[in-house]
Structures are given as structure tokens and as C-alpha cells.
Amino acid sequence: MKVNESRILIVGLGLIGGSLAAALRASGYGRRDSDDAGGGGPVKRAEIVACDPNPDEIALGIERGLIDRGDTRLAPLVEGASLIVLAVPVLAMAGVMRELAGCLGTAAPNVVITDVGSTKAAIRDCAVDAFGRLPANLVLGHPIAGSEKSGVAAADPRLYANHKVILTPEPDTDPAALARVRALWAACDAEVLEMDVARHDQVLARTSHLPHLLAFSLVDTLARQDERLDIFRYAAGGFRDFTRIAGSDPVMWRDIFVANRDAVLASLDDFEAGVARLRRAVEAGDTDAMLAIFDRASHARHYFDSLLNQTSYQAEYQMQAQGKKLRYRVAPGGGVTGRIRVPGDKSISHRSIMLGALAEGVTEVKGFLEGEDSLATLQAFREMGVAIEGPHQGRVTIHGVGMHGLQAPAGPLYVGNAGTAMRLFAGLLAGQAFDTELTGDASLTKRPMGRVADPLRLMGAEIETAEGGRPPLRIKGGKTLTGIRYDMPMASAQVKSCLLLAGLYAEGETRVREPAPTRDHTERMLAGFGYDVGREGDTCWLSGGGRLTSAPIDVPSDISSATFFLVAAAITPGSDLVLEHVGINPTRIGVINILTLMGADLRLANEREVGGEPVADLHIRYAPLRGIEIPVDQVPLAIDEFPALFVAAANAEGTTRLREASELRVKESDRLQAMADGLTALGVENTLYPDGIDIVGSGDDGVSYGGGRIDSLGDHRIAMAFAVAALRAGGEIVIDDCANVATSFPGFIDLARRVGMSLAEEQANGEGA
């Protein structure tokens, strides 16, 4: 917004106030001439003045060029001020506000007031007492930044850079005042968020106030012991890191604990309960309980780091908000040769965690997919009290808690981009005794969940969804479920699995009929865990009330991930590639059947069964492909593989026709539309239909289409499909919004380079970056 602050008054020139002044000075924060109608005139720097009871702090601020002038008295500085920032200790706020109310009439007519206090309810009360009401031009705020140092001598112009500032506007706060305060902090390179007062005080009590309280207490406890010199002399880095904040300003923190007493005490109660649980586990030698606590904490800390550092899709909504996205740049041409093993099957990885957690005993998993989707499922069970070791190089150890051993999570279960996890969780959690909420990232919250919520309601579950049947899902616990006979209107392994998992907790028999075959991993794994599952023709069933017994699981390589390399080899002259240990479940081999019908030179070798799932090595070499009419019965067997298959069609001779695939429109993106748009951008002729597409391929051994720029819409399969397309492109293909590839295929770039593709990843900070 246009800056128009003539004089900024900072009340309190300590670390926070001094750093604000330093940041504004460094940014050249100012105002334009009032006669500047076009917005392009010269910028005049805003005058910065400060009030502080210590004249030495004022003198130092002037000497260092942080402020233009200052005074130990407030009234002389208020005159003409357009923006006033209250940066005094919380318990001093009442007196400052009363004094300010008495002289505010001399300020600029449009003056705005804000503060930096770390407790908001207490400061809001001070404002009401001082002004008789909460002024519309008062915007309460709190920068989440600081240091154990204090005073204007510690002022740092970068203190707020890339840190959050939380504003807590009220319903009647003046929008113009709010915008000006946002602009103030934006000038300091801070990330500005909004939150209501009560929520702010609760969150900060747990994330800031409680850690400081514990650090003060621990250091004080040790400092009063006789052997304190040896304790401190031999303290390691972890002790120093944790207790560093005990060096913070004692007076400031005393004020904070008094002002936010109720929220601090509530967070302390939670912490003491947690310490008591851990103490009982240590006393009893309960290794599973200790492991559950330690492992949950360890992985939660890694998850916290990933959010802060934005290293995974779990923070993608933040990356999108800040315009930070990943882009692929793929050079045309290349070869495809070698022998590789793609990551473990995502569908089986999800189910191994779910059933292992509900089983009695310890389940050992090999080949677990360490992608973000699977890790989100793993973390969700940790939050429900399940002890899980790993993953370490694809190995996970799950200490099962039995069918009724899950505990209520402390908050919503976040499953990121994992549609499979959310739909399967819906069935599993409908049978629990506690309430739960399932949420996900921005992409997942657009996907339909009514297809599982509606039949679960028929079973007696109580589920709330957002508008349009979309996430988040709020599931009421303690409901009695009854088995149903359900004819699925659309073939979906996720819906079938959801209902079977709910059926584990239902009275009587749950029977599901599917209109076309879908993957049967859930049925196979339930049987592997000793649960009786019936299957005849298009119907499967089970009865509730049984138990699961732990069993080892060896996760096959994911055929959906293998598909990108199968297509890469199928379209590239001279290719010769072996994909090892790939799952060839009969409900998943649509891609093999379709490529074979198109003329691919594809053979299965070393066929065997591992943990109830058939696997084989897939050997594929280049052969000219021909366009086909894809058999309708193969569509549900290859529903996730079609983005890559569309690239194969673009390189086949003649037209490939797909129908009865409307399911593709409700995946992570509308995959029919996204692929049609991308193919058009490359110059591939295609015709889009409501339930399918016709693709006219080139059919020769050379370049099949041009290069171009593709928007993957954040859909990992769209991104990887067009990366493969570059093998037969006439120019470079640039693919935007690729961060989500990690959700299903960690290591895709490395494997692509290993077989002969030329693919680079770069961060895009906005259009044209």
C-alpha cells in the first residue's frame, strides 16, 4: 500500500522498539508528498521519535541514527504523530495507555496505535480501561521475535525479517488502520498473520511462555544445588541451547506470566500431566510407552522443522502464499537404460501402518515408502499414541495397540495431500470412542469426501464436512456402527477400503459391491493379519468384532511410480530398462495390459509372491506404439497411471481413445483437463470429453512434439508425466508447481537422471523468476 506516515512514535526504546526503529530506517520507510497524485513523486522519510524513561537509551538511539529525537516524557512527542507503537512491558501498558489517552488529541487526525506485547487479552483490557472503549484505530499486535539481549544497544534491523507478526484485530477495528500496521511490519520484512485474541494467548502460552518458564525453573533448580559448578562446567550443547532463553529479561517475563496467567497455567497443567505420564513409564520400565513418547516427539520435531524450513509439501500452502514454488526444467531427448528399483507402493505403505497399529503385537515393515503422504499417515498414528520406530531405509517397526487401543489426538490429524489416508482414516476413526478432525493441505481440501461420508452415515457414523462435502472431516466418536450392504455408484478402492475398516467396528456384516474391479490391497492385508474377509465376484464382506494379529510386511515397488519409467522406455528409441520387485496385483496391472495392447515390448520376469502380494521384475525395451481404444474394463485398473499413459499415446501411431474415466476429474487436479491443456501446449492434437479424451499420436521415431511450459496444478503425476514427455520433445519442457512430487515419489529426479533423462529442479519465486 502507499506509505503515508509523517511521524512514527515508538514508546519504549528497548530491544523490540529499537529494532523496529532500526528496521524502518534500513528500509527507508517513509511517505510521499501530499501533492503526489500519480504515486511517482519523491519519497520523504518518516520522522521516527521515541519515548523512554531512560535518557541514556534516548541518547544512544539518536547517536546510532535509529531515531530523530526523543524524550522521557510522552506528551511532547504525541503531537503530530501519525503512528504510535507501544513497546513497553506488559504491566507498564496500563499506565502508558492512560497517559496516552490524556494527550492523544494533539496527534495527527488519522493516528493509528499498535503495540508489541506478547499477551493480548490483558492489553486489550488496559485499552478499554484507559479509553473507555476499544478504539477502532487501535490494532493490537505481537512480533514473534526477540533475543536474550536487551536495550537499544542490542537493536537489530533484521530482527523481524522472516519472522511472524501476529495481529489481533477486533470486528470493529478500522480496516485502514489494520492495513497501515500491516504495512509497517511488511517494511521490516516480517510475515504478517491475523488471529483472535484468545487463540493468540493460548498458542503463545504453549510455544513461548511455557518454554521460558521451564528454562527459568531448570536453571534456577540446578543453580541452587551444591554441585552446580560441575553441572554447569560439563553441560553439553543441548543444555545450553534449551536454557539460553533463561538469560532473557526477568522483569519482562515476570510481567508476561502475570498478564497471561490463566493460559500459562493451563499449558503448565498439560505439561505436568505429560511429565507424570513419562515418570510412570520410567518407573514401571514400560519401554513401549517411553518409545511412543520419544518417537512421537522426535518426529513431531522433524515435522516442525519441515514447516519452518518449507522442505516438504506439508508446508506447501505456505509456499504458495509466499509465491515460492518448485519448477522442473527438462532438456529434450535422452536415453532410458539400466536397472532400477522405484520406491515402495504408497497404497500398501498406508495400509501397513493402519493395520499394524490396530494389530496385537509388533509388525515389521520392509520397503515402506518414505514419501510425504505415507509419513503423514505414520505421524497421525503417533499422535494417537502408537509407538512406531523408523522409518530407516524403508524399515518401520509398529508396536500395535489393538483394535481399541488408539488414544484421542491432541488436535486435528493433518494428512497433507494424502486422499487415500483421509478416506481410509474416515472409516477407521468412525468406530473410535473419541472425536477426531481430519484436515489436509490446500489441494486435498478441494477433493470430494461425500463418497465416504455418505455411506458411513448409513452405518451410523456422525460426520461433518465443509461445504460441498469437502475436508475437513469432523467425526463424532462413540457412535454405534451397524454393517450395511453397499453398492458403490463408482469404482473406488478408497471407498471400499473405508467401509471395510469401518466394518471392523460395526455390528453384523458389512458387504460392499463394486461396479468394476479395484485394487484389493486392504482385503489381502486384512487376511494377512488374520482377519476373515470374504470375496466372491464383485462383492467383498467381513463381520465386525474380530481382532488383528501382527504380521511381517514386505512392500512391493509401486507400479504407479514404475509407470513413468515404463512409459519413458516405451517411447524412447534404444531404451532397455529393468524395474525390480514391482507389485503386479491383478487389480493394479491396467498399465501393463494397456501398454502391451499398444505394442510395447514388455516382459515379466522373476514372478513371485511376497507377503500375499504378487511381484515381478519388469523388463521393457523400445518398440513402436500404436494408438488403441482403451478397454473400459482396464480403466479402474490404471486410473492413477493415465497421465503417463497419455504421454505414451502422444508418441503412438494413430489415435488413442479413452472413455468412462470421469474419476480422473476429481483427483489432485482435473487430470483430464490438465493433461489436455499440457498436450495442447506441446502441440499434440487432442479432443477432450466429459469422461475421456482422444489423443492423436505422431507415430515416428523422431521428435513427436515441441517444447513448452506446463502448469502441473500442483499435481505430482501431471508433473512427472510431462517430465517423461521431454524424451521425445523438440525443445525444453518447463513444468511449474512441482513441489508435490515428493508426496508419491521421493527420489524421482535422481532415478530419472540415472536412467538417462536430463532434469533440473529450481525454485521459482514468482512468474519469470
Closest listed residue to residue 66, CA positions, set 30, 31, 32, 20: 20
| CA distance linking residue 270 with residue 202, whole number of Å | 12
The set of cell numbers assigned to 706 is 515441441
The set of cell numbers assigned to 278 is 513419562
**Three-state DSSP string of 1-40:** CCCECCEEEEECCCHHHHHHHHHHHHHCCEEECCCCCCCC
| CA distance linking residue 491 with residue 488, whole number of Å | 6
Helix (H) / strand (E) element for 499: namely helix 493-503
DSSP state of 208: I
Residue 640 assigned to a binding site: yes
Residue 164 assigned to a binding site: no
Residue for grid cell 521475535: 145
Residue 575 assigned to a binding site: no
Residue for grid cell 503417533: 382
Task: Please state, as a whole number, how many other Cβ atoms lie within 10 Å of the Cβ of residue 683.
Answer: 15
**Cβ-contact 567, 622 below 8 angstroms:** no
Enumerate the β-bridge partners of residue 331: none
Residues with Cβ within 8 Å of residue 511, at least 6 apart in sequence: 483, 484, 485, 486, 539, 540, 541
What does the CA dihedral 39, 41, 44, 46 come to, rounded to 10 degrees? 0
Residue for grid cell 485499552: 127
**Cβ-contact 498, 536 below 8 angstroms:** no
Residue 346 assigned to a binding site: yes
Residue 240 assigned to a binding site: no
Enumerate the β-bridge partners of residue 512: 486, 540
431 vs 352, 419, 479, 600, CA distance in Å? 19, 19, 7, 46
Please spell the DSSP secondary structure of 528-544, one letter per residue: HTT---EEETTEEEEES
Write down how long the chain is.
769
Residues with Cβ within 8 Å of residue 195, at least 6 apart in sequence: 166, 167, 168, 203
Residue for grid cell 534404444: 574
**Cβ-contact 519, 585 below 8 angstroms:** yes
640 is catalytic: yes
Backbone φ, ψ for residue 359 (5° rounding): -80, 165
Residue 419 assigned to a binding site: yes
**Cβ-contact 344, 534 below 8 angstroms:** no
| CA distance linking residue 78 with residue 58, whole number of Å | 16
64 vs 22, 69, 152, 394, CA distance in Å? 9, 11, 10, 56
Enumerate the β-bridge partners of residue 414: 439
Residues with Cβ within 8 Å of residue 593, at least 6 apart in sequence: 631, 634, 637, 638
| CA distance linking residue 492 with residue 487, whole number of Å | 11
Residue 366 assigned to a binding site: no
| CA distance linking residue 513 with residue 489, whole number of Å | 9
The set of cell numbers assigned to 605 is 520376469
In one letter, which amino acid is 62? I
Residues with Cβ within 8 Å of residue 10, at least 6 apart in sequence: 17, 20, 21, 48, 49, 50, 51, 67, 85, 87
Please spell the DSSP secondary structure of 604-641, one letter per residue: EEEEEEETTEEEEEEEEE----B--B--GGGTTTSTTT
Residue 494 assigned to a binding site: yes
Exactly one of 558, 640, 694, 737 is catalytic; which is it?
640
Residue 447 assigned to a binding site: yes
| CA distance linking residue 755 with residue 753, whole number of Å | 6
Closest listed residue to residue 707, CA positions, set 738, 727, 736, 732: 732
Q: What order do you get walking across the sheet with 387-392 strand by strand?
A: 387-392, 395-399, 362-366, 553-554
Positions annotated as catalytic residues are 640
Per the annotation, binding residues for 3-phosphoshikimate are 346-347, 351, 492, 494, 640, 667
Per the annotation, binding residues are 346-347, 351, 419, 447, 492, 494, 640, 667, 671, 717
